[in-house]
Amino acid sequence: MKILIVEDEHLLAETMISYLQKEGYQCEWVDNLQEAKTKSWDYEYDCLIVDINLPDGKGFEVIKQLKKMRSDAGIIIVSAKHALDDKIYGLEIGADDYLTKPFDLVELNARIKSIIRRRSFKAQNSIIFNEIEVFPDDRTVKVNNEFLKLTKKEYDLLLYFITNLHRVITKSSIAEHLWGDEMDMADSYDFIYSHLKNLRKKIILKKGKDYIQTVYGVGYKFTDE
């Protein structure tokens, strides 16, 4: 799961990143409105955590932009203790939830999971596709009712495929989703093939089917069609 943190308090942002990365999220961070608008325009995120008061404007502008784009990303507002009007306005223009500073990181994690489950998984605790079952809350996978041991990248890749069933996904989209900003340092997509190969092998060893189809010259598709 990919999260963009829009927060100008550097210590708070670093604390959130440290905690959320341990929980298995891929985090990116910006500390101003302009970068937030650029990032949310150029890249897809599962959830954004948006501070309202930024050095160069209001975080509301990011929310408005996402709504114009018809983005599926969840949005959590973080605001000052007495900023009730900001919270109400943020929810009215499309935010999903809000937290008042200071907040507990465990609560933040719970809010993120709730939003992603509601938006992406229709409020279900697991995603089932034939013999494969994915449990996003604890990042586990079963194939034919047996747990599958995956690396972080393999799990993220499988979840990305299952939430985009039957759709062709380009190699660049996969790389950007799994590596985010770090993708710019890669010279090729060979590392994607390596993760795909390992994921296929592990699913087949549990007597699962190989649903990963190569679309030559474009990317891949996860489908039973």
Query: For residue 62, is pLDDT > 50?
Result: yes
- Distance, in Å, from the CA atom of 167 to the CA atom of 171, rounded to the nearest integer, reads 13
More confident residue, 217 or 204: 204
If asked whether residues 79 and 140 sit together in one domain, one would say no
Q: Which one of 120, 144, 168 terminates a domain?
A: 120
Count of domains observed in the chain: 2
CATH number at residue 152: 1.10.10.10
If asked whether residues 100 and 135 sit together in one domain, one would say no
Q: Which one of 96, 120, 144 terminates a domain?
A: 120
CATH number at residue 31: 3.40.50.2300
- The DSSP bridge partners found for residue 98 are 77
Confidence band (pLDDT; 50, 70, 90) for 173? confident
If asked whether residues 13 and 112 sit together in one domain, one would say yes
What tens digit of pLDDT does each residue of 131-147 get?
999 998 788 999 999 99
Instruction: Tell me which amino acid residue 145 is.
Output: N
DSSP 224: -
Q: Is the dihedral of CA 188, 190, 191, 192 positive or negative?
A: positive
Q: Which one of 78, 101, 120 terminates a domain?
A: 120
What pLDDT does 108 receive?
94
Structural domain range at position 214: 127-222
If asked whether residues 156 and 73 sit together in one domain, one would say no
CB 9 within 8 A of CB 41: no
What tens digit of pLDDT does each residue of 97-115 get?
999 888 999 999 999 988 8
If asked whether residues 99 and 6 sit together in one domain, one would say yes
If asked whether residues 131 and 116 sit together in one domain, one would say no
What tens digit of pLDDT does each residue of 89-98 get?
989 999 999 9
If asked whether residues 47 and 64 sit together in one domain, one would say yes
* Percent of the chain with pLDDT strictly greater than 90: 58
